[in-house]
Amino acid sequence: MPRRKIEAGPSGEAISPSQSPIRTPSQNEDTEAWRHSNMGRILNNAVNRFERRVAEILEDHGHGEARQSHFHLTRNLDRAGTITTELARRAGMTKQAMGQIVEQCELIGLVERVRDKRDGRAKVVRFTPAGLEWLDAFRSAVETAEQEMRSELGFLRTDAVAAALQTYGKDFDELGEGNSRNEL
């Protein structure tokens, strides 16, 4: 009989693959169950909950001007400015979709587009002074939401999840790299 691999659960307890919250069709009679319990869905649900909470906190503190979809811009925009094509690439969306988000954020005063000094045809998106204030409020809201998560899940579990996901996604964190415009 093959030996089962035993792994550590979120709080350090031993779990076997049959106890994992991630299910595959072979582990379930219902072949549609995997759509609700695969890692992508689990991560997406957690991100949606987290971002909704961040948006609520921002709203409660007088910063309801931005929507969750605008977080794609603010998460990927370097303080010194970034061109739209780079923002789109970092966010994993089309240039047109990012362009719409930039336009919306420009209308509410969070960002502005200025001519790129290195390439007169390109525009650089950068935070306005109001956008930098909003970014500080966003940071505070993220910190509050993280603290709430730690309170609910426990510090060790939350830190273990964060460390594991940081390791998994380390090659995709490009903020401050690529086509930012740091000399503006």
For every residue of 13-24, DSSP letters joined together read -EE-GGG-S---
Cα 106 to Cα 10, 47, 115, 126: the distances in Å are 42, 25, 15, 10
- Is residue 83 situated within a structural domain? yes
Determine the pLDDT at residue 33.
Answer: 83
**Is-contact 88 175, C-beta < 8 A?**
no
- Is residue 178 situated within a structural domain? no
Q: Is the per-residue pLDDT at 6 higher than 50?
A: no
**Residue 173 pLDDT grade (very low, low, confident, very high; cuts 50, 70, 90):** confident
Residue with tokens 């420009």: 106
- Is residue 150 situated within a structural domain? yes
Beta strands in 11-154 (DSSP E): 14-15, 82-83, 111-115, 123-127
- List the domain range (segments joined by +) for residue 37: 7-22+33-172
CATH classification of the domain holding 109: 1.10.10.10
pTM for this one? Answer: 0.77
Q: Is the per-residue pLDDT at 35 higher than 50?
A: yes
Question: Mind listing the pLDDT tens digit for each residue in 59-91?
Answer: 999 998 889 999 999 899 999 999 999 999 999
- Is residue 177 situated within a structural domain? no
Residue with tokens 């940071």: 139
**Residue 29 pLDDT grade (very low, low, confident, very high; cuts 50, 70, 90):** low
Span 26-51, average pLDDT: 84
Q: What is residue 180's DSSP assignment?
A: B
Span 30-48, average pLDDT: 88
- Is residue 164 situated within a structural domain? yes
Question: Mind listing the pLDDT tens digit for each residue in 106-153?
Answer: 999 999 999 988 887 889 999 999 999 999 999 999 999 999 999 999
- Is residue 48 situated within a structural domain? yes
Cα 90 to Cα 1, 79, 110, 164: the distances in Å are 47, 15, 19, 21
Mean pLDDT computed over every residue of the chain = 85
What domain count does the chain have? Answer: 1
Determine the pLDDT at residue 4.
Answer: 46
- Is residue 75 situated within a structural domain? yes
- Is residue 182 situated within a structural domain? no
